Structure 1
Amino acid sequence: MSEDLVLYTNPMSRGRIARWMLEEVGQPYHAEILAFGDGMKSADYLALNPMGKVPALSHKGTIVTECGAICAYLADAFPEAQLAPPPGSPARGSYYRWMFFAAGPVEAGVTNKALGFEVPAGRERMAGYGRYGDVIDTLEFAVTQNEFIAGDRFTAADVYFGSQIGAGLAFKTIEPRPAFQAYWQRLADRPAALRARAIDDSLIAEMKKAQSAH
């Protein structure tokens, strides 16, 4: 039942990552679209996610927030989708390694760069990601070791890692190195990715239409 899986999201947010993951899983779900501001800061939603941000996932009463966690949770909750390497396998190590790298150094480094913030020289050890250049070089290393992040098979790590690269290329917060473009091209036309983008892009169009009518 779709009520078993509820995605709290906004089509102009990182919730797009969680929707892509849900489309890959292939289970019915319901999406609650929350507006920035009052919607995400309402008492009801803050009871689910005190951060007041999206996405959040409710699965039979279990609440999961943070895109990387949602991707990993769904892969384990629905093993029939085969979106996670077997526990104990070498690929499982790569899966966790790069999932957490994307959630930590990539997210922080790219966001700070986009905001014009640079770690002061000599203080790199205080920042988890060190230097932006190191993050980007490591990102390139990650996408050139195998066809996919955890090996030769697509996993939830590619949903999260790929989303970071796809958004970075689109918004020019990640430099368009050939390795990044080639990796993103391997992911962008997956049926689930196309379905997810179509849904969220349609919602954005509806929102803009409603705004222009007022």
Structure 2
Amino acid sequence: MTLDFYTNPMSRGQIARWALEETGAPYNEHIISYGPEMKGEAYLAINPMGKVPALKHNGAVVTEAAAICAYLASAFPQSGLAPSAEESADYHRWMFFAAGPMESAISFHSAGFKPTKEQTATFGFGSYEMILDVVKEKLSRDSYACGERFAMADVYLGSQIGFGTQFGTLPKEDVFTAYIERLANRDAFKKAKARDAALIAEMQASKSD
């Protein structure tokens, strides 16, 4: 078994690294720099979009952070991160809600785009305000995406909320803060964040030399 992880610490690769650490599976780390390397022929052969993260598992490539999360949960069932039959509906709903309408709404809002009433009716995410209300209601009712048990869906949903509250694209609502605190207490979360923080520090140090 070979598991190769292509990332840059200042990217959504942080999501995939956390997912990898949750599985406990050993992996090879490949740091891809922005610019010529990420857009170069060698890396484009792995991800034609020229973006990170990407995962190669026994020769098969998976891209897109949410897909990597879902794939890892299935590929490493012993980690207990995949849903039970009873959890499957919530798991898939919130994983892909976070990857689809939620991320779209946050991106549009961050860019200063506010849809008209007519556009709200046709856009898959409705509106930024609607997204906030839906997620707040969910996390006011349940501790995690699948209820009271952590699953891989929380890696993606939690990352969206964590990044959003950190960078100001989501409000620091109490319900969001409490959810992030629960996730941040996980050993895999701490390990993943520490590794990316160390890499970022190395990059910044090299620029100042």
Report the TM-score, using the length of structure 2 for normalisation. 0.97
2:192 is matched with: 196
1:103 is matched with: 99
1:9 is matched with: 7
Confirm or deny: 8 A CA contact 1:18 1:70 kept in the other structure.
yes
1:55-204 correspondence to structure 2 within 5 Å = 55-86=53-84, 89-204=85-200
CA-based RMSD: 1.0
1:209 is matched with: 205
How big is each residue's C-alpha offset from its partner over 1:77-101, in whole Å with a ceiling of 9 and x where there is no partner? 0000000112xx2311000000000
User: What amino acid does structure 2 have at the position aligned with 1:40?
Assistant: M
User: What amino acid does structure 2 have at the position aligned with 1:16?
Assistant: Q
Aligned sequence identity (%): 49
1:33 is matched with: 31
| SS of corresponding position for 2:113 | coil
Confirm or deny: 8 A CA contact 1:23 1:195 kept in the other structure.
yes
Confirm or deny: 8 A CA contact 1:98 1:142 kept in the other structure.
no
Q: Distance in 2 between matches of 1:78 and 1:71?
A: 11
Task: Report which stretch shifted further, 10-19 or 106-115.
Answer: 106-115
| SS of corresponding position for 1:122 | helix
Q: Note the residue ranges of structure 1 that are not aligned, 5 or more in a row.
A: none
How big is each residue's C-alpha offset from its partner over 1:143-178, in whole Å with a ceiling of 9 and x where there is no partner? 223221112211100011001111111111101111
| SS of corresponding position for 1:144 | helix
Q: Note the residue ranges of structure 2 that are not aligned, 5 or more in a row.
A: none
2:52 is matched with: 54
Q: Distance in 1 between matches of 2:47 and 2:114?
A: 30
How big is each residue's C-alpha offset from its partner over 1:61-117, in whole Å with a ceiling of 9 and x where there is no partner? 11001111000000000000000112xx23110000000000001111111111111
| SS of corresponding position for 1:142 | helix
Give 1:55 deviation, angstroms: 0.4
Q: Distance in 1 between matches of 2:122 and 2:34?
A: 32
